[in-house]
Amino acid sequence: MKISIVGAGYVGLVTGGCLAELGHQVMCIDSDADKVATLNAAGLPIYEPGLQELMTRNRAEGRIHFTTDMAQAVEHGEVIFIAVGTPSKEDGSADLQHVLAVATQIGRHLKKFKVIVNKSTVPVGTAYRVQKCLQDELLKRGIQESLFEVISNPEFLKEGAAIKDFMHPDRIVIGLDDSPNYKTVHQKMELLYSSFNRHHARTIWMDVRSAELTKYAANAMLATRISFMNEIANLSDLLGADIDSIRRGIGADQRIGHDFLYAGTGYGGSCFPKDTRALIQTALDCGSQMKVVTAVENVNDHQKTLLVTRLIQHFGEDFTGLKFAVWGLAFKPNTDDMREAPSLVIIEELLKRGAQVSAFDPLAALEGQEALSDKLQDSDVLKHFNLSETAYEAAEDADALLVVTEWKTFHHPDFELLTETMRQPLILDGRNLYDPQMLQDLGIAYQGIGRRNQLALNFKAGTVRKQAEITA
Ligand SMILES: NC(=O)c1ccc[n+]([C@@H]2O[C@H](COP(=O)([O-])OP(=O)(O)OC[C@H]3O[C@@H](n4cnc5c(N)ncnc54)[C@H](O)[C@@H]3O)[C@@H](O)[C@H]2O)c1
């Protein structure tokens, strides 16, 4: 089938690459000429495991092309996906400017019937607005005929495992309303995704509004699990209980399950924060309130500052003269995506309190530095931030090491080397990677999120001191 995909970002490129891999003829279009040039020069503007190989193979076999030309893309695809960004507006609602601009551009070039599939995460009612933009453009050209059907097909892939998620979906949600085109569109979409329905039907058909809301409900549910576990972890810290035992204890209940029960420094990324905000705003627009989701967001905002709060408890409010190492910048492993990463909140707070920060990320170092410069508007404190070539270099002479992203490469560090090279062997483990007892045995002051046996208790006995006091 001939497919066009508007927006060559994380979702667009993965969708395009995977559909090409299934044999479809794919054209990806993006308004960013630099991105398209990179793609046409066999590069990739983002990192996603396995995507480069997928692109190389399908480019070579002529099944995927990249362009900035909307007329060409509209002409090409029988099915046209919209996969552009829907960031937060200031009030938290989803900014639909890119989605609606794309609808208008498509409308300008429509000559024959196309299925317009909205893959971007959008509030309920957006399909209708897309339809209106398309219709207006057709009317401007004097075309009365209905040359399109707008449907919803939200995307559930996870960055870092996006290809696997796309190729082995738990479900494919398609929202399609009753219309004269219903049968044609249903058949086309069944055919498009038939590879995924061979073993058993994974497509869940519903009306468009329900499909639009399904995506927000899914992300809000996942975010809720994370914030819930973070609250239980924080309570565990107060009570001397262990969140990891609790996680296993509740995850074994089949009604709960083991996934998404990890306590940490809060969720970030391009989806959960903006989608929970948008859902809250959608409810407010209807005169209602999402009380649970609002609490989820508040808990998360608090959780992002937890490691800094702990440092304040140990070192005081002023971090002047202290050096902190940060391991991990990306919002999660296996991605270079820095959108709403907890590391940005943590590093900003450390720098503003006068600390020197050395950070290491195996993949997102430059993206992290760029995101930090944007956030801090090139403020003076940035001169106290530097990227390190290795994790150990970052930790040299550090007064504490903060583990912020659970990259595999951080799972088994050389603790002896850390003890020798850090100014004070103190690890704040924001992802609960290490065994508290083992670190205690090694003489490393350790604090995880909701873990028992924390040598952190020893700081109170004075093992951790400010550098100024050490040198005095
Ligand atoms: N990233 C994820 O993990 C993920 C997962 C599921 C759903 N989503 C949703 O999918 C959508 C896309 O997310 P993303 O992360 O791929 O975004 P992204 O920012 O990585 O990519 C969006 C792309 O759209 C392009 N674009 C913007 N306006 C355009 C226009 N008028 N014409 C052509 N191209 C245009 C941008 O240049 C950019 O390359 C969002 O609504 C997001 O919420 C994202």
Phi, psi of 387 (to 5 degrees): -90, 140
Are 151 and 249 found together in one domain?
no
Are 422 and 337 found together in one domain?
yes
Rounded alpha-carbon distances, angstroms, from residue 136 to 31, 83, 95, 143:
22, 21, 21, 10
- Rounded mean pLDDT of the chain? 95
Are 21 and 48 found together in one domain?
yes
Please give the distance, rounded to the nearest whole angstrom, from the Cα atom of residue 407 to the centre of ligand 1: 25
Show which of 146, 179, 206 is a domain's final residue: 206
Are 397 and 320 found together in one domain?
yes
Are 81 and 6 found together in one domain?
yes
Please give the distance, rounded to the nearest whole angstrom, from the Cα atom of residue 65 to the centre of ligand 1: 18
Are 159 and 81 found together in one domain?
yes
Query: What pLDDT shows up at residue 379?
Result: 85
Show which of 301, 318, 340 is a domain's final residue: 301
Are 221 and 285 found together in one domain?
yes
The residue whose CB lies within 8 Å of the most ligand 1 atoms, and thus the one to mutate among 14, 47, 108, 155, is: 155
Are 144 and 258 found together in one domain?
no
Helix, strand counts (H, E) of the chain:
20, 14
Ligand 1 contact, 29 CB (< 6 A): yes
User: Does 467 fall in a domain?
Assistant: yes
The domain tally of the chain equals 3
User: Does 428 fall in a domain?
Assistant: yes
Residue 417, domain CATH: 3.40.50.720
User: Does 211 fall in a domain?
Assistant: no
Residue 148, strand partner residues: 114
Are 189 and 227 found together in one domain?
no
> What's the pLDDT tens digit per position in 435-471?
999 999 999 999 999 997 554 444 443 444 444 454 4
Show which of 206, 236, 263 is a domain's final residue: 206
Are 283 and 386 found together in one domain?
no
Query: What pLDDT shows up at residue 454?
Result: 58
Please give the distance, rounded to the nearest whole angstrom, from the Cα atom of residue 14 to the centre of ligand 1: 11
The stretches in the chain having pLDDT less than 70 are: 453-472
> What's the pLDDT tens digit per position in 275-330?
999 999 999 999 999 999 999 999 999 999 999 999 999 999 999 999 999 999 99
Ligand 1 contact, 243 CB (< 6 A): no
Query: What pLDDT shows up at residue 453?
Result: 53
> What's the pLDDT tens digit per position in 123-163?
999 999 999 999 999 999 999 998 999 999 999 999 999 99
Domain housing 226: 216-301
Catalytic annotation present for 286: no
Ligand 1 contact, 175 CB (< 6 A): no
Residue 263, domain CATH: 1.10.1040.10
Contact of 231 with 174, CB cutoff 8 Å: no
User: Does 436 fall in a domain?
Assistant: yes
Are 14 and 147 found together in one domain?
yes
Which SS3 state, helix, strand or coil, does residue 92 take? Answer: coil
What does the DSSP 8-state code read for residue 32?
-
Are 407 and 442 found together in one domain?
yes
Ligand 1 contact, 155 CB (< 6 A): yes
DSSP string for 192-258: HTGGGGSSS--EEEE-HHHHHHHHHHHHHHHHHHHHHHHHHHHHHHHHT--HHHHHHHHHTSTTT-S
User: Does 382 fall in a domain?
Assistant: yes
